[in-house]
Structure 1
Amino acid sequence: MSEEVLQSFFESVPGQITTVVVIFLLLILIMRISGKKNNVSIMVKTAILIGLTFVLNQITLFRMPQGGSITAFGMLALFLVSYLFGARQGILAGMAYGLLDLIINPSVIHPIQIFMDYPLAFGAIGIGGMLRSQSFGIIKGYILGVIGRYIVVVISGIVFWGMYAAEGFNAVSWSLFYNMTYILPEAAITVIILLVPQLRQLFDRFKIND
């Protein structure tokens, strides 16, 4: 399937409807696998955090020419799903958001690239929920989630976007550098914010214990 066909599909109404249906199914799956009595509440709060992620990601501080941007704590809002409700919910929520981002900002050249740059990359943020029970788990988990996303987009950059490497770079060094330029600044600012005890305590009030 050519790049033009893929791009046209996800920009079309049928493609967007299909993606929305998949997002809805992922939210239902979040509710079904939560294993908690208040799973409806979890689904609603997850949907709210996905919506907040979308809003924050529209507040772009800097947008890279080949995709990726520094946003107003968009990754933090998405990570909160896994921190508050667990890694499984966080991964599925990240995948749902990735599909939403695919509707809004489609940039596709290959079916596997679509999966890696959208649902897999954002879903990887949810793995940070595995550290939610540790001391300073919100900071450790956030860093782990960011690293997870970074690894996925770097691999995608090497495999699918290497042809766009700047002069003096090869596919590997360009992908490592390029993706770090927008992920690292937002992550660093977020970690500094999370060092405020009152903010961590606020999030902990809403955390559902395992």
Structure 2
Amino acid sequence: MKNLNEIFAHPTSLFTLLAILLLIGAAIKVRKVKLSTQMITQIGIALALATVLKIFRIYHLPQGGSITIGSMVPILLIALFYGAEVGYLTGFLYGMITLIMDPYILHPVQVLFDYPLPFMALGIIGYFRNNKVLGAIVAIFGRFLCHFISGIVFFASYAGDMNPWLYSLMVNGVFIAIEGLICVIIIGLLPVDRLYSIVTKGRRPLRGDE
């Protein structure tokens, strides 16, 4: 019981464990993916589009985080086309690109919760192929949770007299809500089924293109 209390008394240790478990779980799923040349090409295109959209951002927060014109959409589309596992992989790669382009580093675990993990969460939409809007909302909320945790644990000193939970909710909630709304609207308006048919040439692949 003492060891358990010590873990909760040091949230960094707890969230380090959580980050490791999430990465291991995602890695196990991604290992089952069989990437074809077509999939690799489309992942590359999606990453390029997301990166370009990231560059033309509407607003950039001082402690990291940006409001863009739908930079998450290419990642969400890849997950819709090929399933959550491919979405996790694409999100991880995009998170690393974002880290290189716009790094804000306080702690190694903070890096995990602000870069690879939140964008990997976008792959969740792959489980909602029949309801793309709901899937986008759930996936973007997953991204928000990662940034929210980072804000509470690693950016509490920026809160001043404000409660760290409220501070993280306000900072991350505002920019994710605006960014997320833009992406949900775009996903809702896009003819995803038609795009899917064009991209896969009418072929409906199984998860991981098996």
TM-score range with shorter-chain normalisation? Answer: 0.7 to 0.9
Contact 2:70–2:183 (Cα < 8 Å) also in 1: yes
User: Quick one: structure 1 residues 194 and 98, their matched pair in 2 at CA, closer, same or farther if it must change by over 3 Å?
Assistant: closer
Match of 2:168 among 167, 172, 175: 175
TM-score, normalised via structure 1 length: 0.76
SS in structure 2 at match of 1:74: coil
Gaps of 5+ in 2: 1-28
Shift of 1:158: 0.4
Matched, 1:96 2:82: no
Structure 2 matches for 1:114-133, cutoff 5 A? 114-132=111-129
2:196 to 188, 192, 204: 204
**1:40-119 → structure 2 map (5 Å cutoff):** 40-119=37-116
For 1:61, what is the secondary structure of its paired residue? strand
Query: How far apart, CA to CA, are the structure 1 residues paired with 2:196 and 2:121?
Result: 22
Query: Cα RMSD (Å) of the superposition?
Result: 2.0
Among 134, 141, 157, the alignment partner of 2:151 is 157
Q: Which residue of 179, 187, 192 maps to 2:185?
A: 192
Contact 1:166 1:174 in 2 (8 A): no
Residues 5-29 of structure 1: per-residue CA shift (max 9 Å, x gap) = xxxxxxxxxxxxxxxxxxxxxxxx9
TM-score (norm 2): 0.76
The answer on whether the counterparts of 1:83 and 1:141 sit within 8 Å (CA) in structure 2 is no
Identity of aligned residues (%): 34
SS in 1 for 2:63: coil
Q: 1:44 to 1:204 in 2, by over 3 A?
A: closer
Aligned counterpart for 2:132 among listed residues 138, 151, 171: 138
User: What runs of 5+ residues in structure 1 fail to find an aligned partner?
Assistant: 1-28
Question: Which 4+ residue blocks in structure 1 deviate beyond 4 angstroms?
Answer: none
1:134-176 C-alpha deviation (Å, 9 max, x unpaired): 2xx2212211110110001100110001110155x21111111
Q: Residues of 1 paired with 2:33 and 2:72: CA distance? A: 22
